[in-house]
Chains A and B, each alone.
Chain A
Amino acid sequence: MKKILLNMVVAVLIALWLVPLLWLIITSLKMENDVVTDHLTLFSAAPTFKNYIKALTTTPIKQWLLNSFFVASVTTVLTLFLDSTMAFVLSRMRFRGRKALYLFVLAGMMAPFESMIIQLYLEFNAFKLLNTLAAVIIPRLALPVGVFILTQFFNGIPTALEEAAYIDGASRFKVFTSIILPLGKSAMFAVAILSFIGSWNDFLWPLIAISNSAKYTVTVGIANFQGTHGTEYALIMAGAVIASIPQILIFLFFRKNIVQGIAMTGIKG
């Protein structure tokens, strides 16, 4: 009896998570007239890709996807570069004020982006970078949580290999690129994933920084989609599916790394 009850809880929970996903797809495959009806129709008689075709041909969604790809990729690469070099210093160099510097960087985790939109807007206006993809990329680069993850991970890498390399006369750059980075691969990957997803899903800042619809990221574009096509639900859902395909693919291929990346923010190194 208890077991049945428990299984029912599990089943309900799964259904509550699965049904919205299915409804997203089902709606996107319906004709607009079958969507806005008084009576519930689970499936439309003939599934149609019309909404997808319309979304792809009459809206800039392809451009938005490209913009998002560009923004998220560049953000990820630059974040990895910046965070790993900083983490290398914090983990491997001994100098006075190191701890203070680490705390200073970690303090950045406490500054919510949401409380800086006005200042960043004015700053980017002064740099004449508003309405460029650079404006979307730059504020996300110094990712303190990335430095945290990498520093903790680097701390756990034994130093024997490096010492041997230094004795052989290797430069610090060489040690960094040929020992630390390869050994820190899994943490690097975790940071990369977090950075990519975070950048892709960022909404508030791109909403403010970008005003030309051709330069939207897809996350901002979808909000605009709803505003412009207020009542065309099937079309909006098709747009939402298109906007999410890259995310779903990433999830399918990198599920383990994503989970690991999130766990790393929580587990103490």
Chain B
Amino acid sequence: MKKNRLVLALGLILIALMTVGAQKPIEISFWSLFTGGDGEFFDAMVKAFNESQNEIVMKTDTVKFTNYYTKLTAALSAKNAPDVVVMHQDRLVNYVPNGVLMQLDEYVQKANIDLSTFSPAPLNSCKFNGKLYAIPLDVHPLVMYYNKDLMAKAGVTKVPETLAELISAAKAIQDKTGAIGIAADNTTATYKAYTLTRLFMSLLMEQNVTILDASNKRANFNNAAGVKAYQALSDMVNKDKLTPKQLDYDSSVSSFKLGKAGFHFNGVWMVGGFESQSGLNFGVVQFPALLGKNAGWTGSHTLAVPVQKTTDPDRIMAVMKFIDWMTQHGEMWAKAGHIPTRTTVYSKPEFKNLPHRAEYADAVKNTFAPPATHKWPELYDAISDSLEESIALNKDAKAALDQLEKKVNDILK
């Protein structure tokens, strides 16, 4: 009897040791803001990651977009944020100076993540004072969609590359097919008319002008470049009437989707939605060089690591493995339309076989990040409102830019 018990006890100890030896997978937590199509592709990626190895289990929790940063900020202030979070690149500046995000250089090195395989522009926009605070998962720039059938009907044979070409092509489409020439939202409804700000910033950058000065303390657009940029936007609506007045985001998207618009300016995130529309024969290119060189506004989803009450290097290393895997498998994320940030992805057949993606992948080279000021969310709203107003009221460039400059400088004051 006694002997049996001893054997049993030994057996139990052995089993216990074995389970320890087999190492329980590290469970790491994660917040993302992806909904709709983005959400589905992202969840599929996380699932694939979990299945690809057995050391790390990633759990996700999706948060509605408009509330995401509220929740995240509260959690970061209480230091109970998850192990890794998605953050838009333009929001990093709101958090980095407050010391709530981990500096990643050391861990990147330890995890052997090869930073040279990243596209430099998006990677550099995650650096503050030379230190890396996030890893870019994608860029989602402003692009130009065009309807091939409408172009053919109107006898337009070439995708426009200059402002003059764009205007004449849009005019031809509008005159010959009755469709909208250029669908780009200029009015707030369910969504603010952010497209106006994105276009304005891109048109400035095409002339090598940033929207704020180098110190990010003052407006930098009340000048010749600003006038050209504003005039181009206003003329599309007011002079050439290629974009209808009072066009909101939903109407802009649906008109292109239904084949009732020749050109459409929007982010790459609509690619998937347009592909699922039967009968829509469209193409997509990076934002054309309308006023100079190629330059396009871009958003970028990055992965950042919140500072915890106590730093656990093992968990951070697990997070780094996750980030490495996610960025290396950008072709899965590209299904949602976003452009992967690792150049190694572009040569993968899985990526090359995706329709359209290669057509605009070049955009990644010509993207630029919004100004790094923690007041950007407020500026973004104010600039969009002000441009919307000026274009709706057909203000001249001087009045529009004076007003815009005052609003921007008041906020930056």
Contact = CB atoms under 8 A, between A and B. Distances in A.
Q: In the complex they form, do A and B come into direct contact, defined as C-beta atoms under 8 angstroms apart? A: yes
Interface string B65-88: 111101100100110100000000
B64 A211 contact: yes
A207 B67 contact: yes
A182 interface: no
B71 A224 contact: no
Given A36-B258, A211-B64, A212-B62, A231 B253 contact: yes
Contacts of A36: 254, 258
A211 B71 contact: yes
A125 B62 contact: no
Interface string A223-247: 0101111110000000000000000
Contacts of B66: 227
Contacts of A222: none
Interface residues of A, number: 20
Q: Which of A224, A226, A230 has the most CB of B within 10 A?
A: A230
B35 interface: yes
Contacts of A128: 78, 80
B250 A213 contact: no
Interface in A184-225: 207-208, 210-213, 216, 224
A125 B77 CA distance: 10
B63 interface: yes
A224 B258 contact: no
Given A36-B258, A125-B74, A130-B71, A230 B64 contact: no
B249 A212 contact: no
A216 B66 CA distance: 13
A125 B78 contact: yes
A196 B90 CA distance: 42
Interface in B37-70: 61-68, 70
B190 A226 contact: yes
B74 A212 contact: no
B257 interface: yes
B36 interface: yes
B246 to A, nearest CB: 16
A131 interface: yes
B74 A213 contact: no
Contacts of B253: 230-231
Given A125-B78, A130-B71, A213-B35, A224 B249 contact: no
Interface string B186-206: 000011000000000000000
B358 to A, nearest CB: 28
Nearest to A33: B258
B36 A213 contact: no
Given A125-B74, A125-B78, A212-B62, A231 B254 contact: yes
Q: Which of A121, A213, A216, A229 has the most CB of B within 10 A?
A: A213
Nearest to B77: A125
Nearest to B63: A211
A230 B35 CA distance: 13
A231 B36 contact: no
A213 B71 contact: no
B258 A230 contact: no
B190 A230 contact: yes
B101 to A, nearest CB: 19
Contact of B257 (A212, A216, A231): A231
Interface string B13-50: 00000000000000000000001100000000000000
5 contacts: A36-B254, A208-B70, A213-B64, A216-B64, A228-B35
Interface of B: 35-36, 61-68, 70-71, 74, 77-78, 80, 190-191, 249-250, 253-254, 257-258
Given A231-B250, A231-B253, A231-B257, 6 more contacts: A36-B258, A211-B67, A213-B62, A226-B190, A227-B64, A230-B190
Kindly list the 8 A-B residue pairs having the minimum CB-CB distance in the complex, ordered from nearest.
Answer: A211-B71, A211-B67, A231-B254, A230-B250, A211-B63, A125-B74, A228-B36, A213-B64
